Amino acid sequence: MAELIDVLPGVDLPVCEVTSRLATMWESGATGTQQDFRASQMNVVLHFGLDVTAEEARERFDALIRFAQRYPSRIIVLCPTRVDLKGAMASKLFSQCYIGDSHREMCCCEALLLQYNSEDFGYLANQVSIWTEGDLPTYHWFSGVPAKRIETYFDDLLIGVRRCVFDSSVESEDLSQLSWPNRNRVKDLAKARLLPARQAIGQYMSGYAIESLCEGLEAVQVRHSASMSGEGRGLLEWVQACFAECDGCPECQSLKAEFSVTESAVADPCSLELEFVYNDDRYLKCRKFKDGSRGEIAASLGKGEDVICTRVKPLAAEQALAEAFFF
């Protein structure tokens, strides 16, 4: 199995030389133009677990590079290995400048990659603190790191981190159940990807009074494809939160509807579906089809029947990162 650090781009360097090389590499341009376009706004740590595949690592690294093209960042990538490094560490340095439609859209990205033994991780906080830009906020993206291991980082590696993110649709454990020191600083990428769907559903439902939506509501059901379990749970939690935040509606306060989320059949054409079930002939069904950006809202909520085709364009990985980091 390929080592994660080997499948990611960059130049091999001794760990002790990374910062000095980083300090001088942008000064090589005769005009100094590159230096003008490398001002970072944040540090982003991409933290892999041992079971992350080479393809997954490259996909997430590339997404973070695209994110950094819009939000200039110093990227630090932590790559564990099962090979006994005998206390040593390996590192790589990646840098590249990207030019957009005009010279003013130029952006220079840098990524520092560290290979370490997963069972000898006590020094990670020190090494990351050396590599980060101390006057900038730090964001931490966990990918495939076991829950028990994450808990050991609470008192060192994650001290001062502005936000931690993970993707519940790909993680094997429910990281939301950890005793995070500050749960408000933990975000799920799967929930961030729901933004277009929430906007489409919310826009339609805003045409109805909350009292009429609550009256006679017996069940709220969410169904999701196998690859969107995090989105399914997130959509249901969003609906529950909307009802819970309505303090002025007696119907909301006495709501006894059953909330459920299930995985849909493989043959189901929908990747995500939300259904409101009432005690009369009213109904609401919001569906996102697996095929492209197509969606549909079918409803009869007292104003006649509606069948509305919607466009629910999925967020790109770098857009979901921005949503999770900043909102």
In this prediction the pTM is 0.92
Does residue 174 belong to any structural domain of this protein? no
Structural domain including 109 reads 4-161
Does residue 185 belong to any structural domain of this protein? no
- From first to last of the 327 residues of the chain, give the pLDDT tens digit: 689 999 999 999 999 999 999 888 766 554 455 555 566 899 999 999 999 999 999 999 999 999 999 999 999 999 999 888 877 889 999 998 887 766 566 778 899 999 998 766 678 999 999 999 999 999 999 999 999 999 999 999 999 999 999 999 999 999 999 999 999 999 999 999 999 999 999 999 999 998 899 999 999 999 999 999 999 999 999 999 988 877 667 766 678 899 999 999 999 999 999 999 999 999 999 999 998 899 999 999 988 999 999 999 889 999 999 999 999
Does residue 211 belong to any structural domain of this protein? yes
Residue 146: alpha-carbon gap to chain centroid: 17
Residues 9 and 157 in one domain: yes
Residues 218 and 279 in one domain: yes
Residues 82 and 227 in one domain: no
Residues 35 and 150 in one domain: yes
Q: Considering only CA atoms, which of 58, 44, 46 is closest in space to residue 4? A: 58
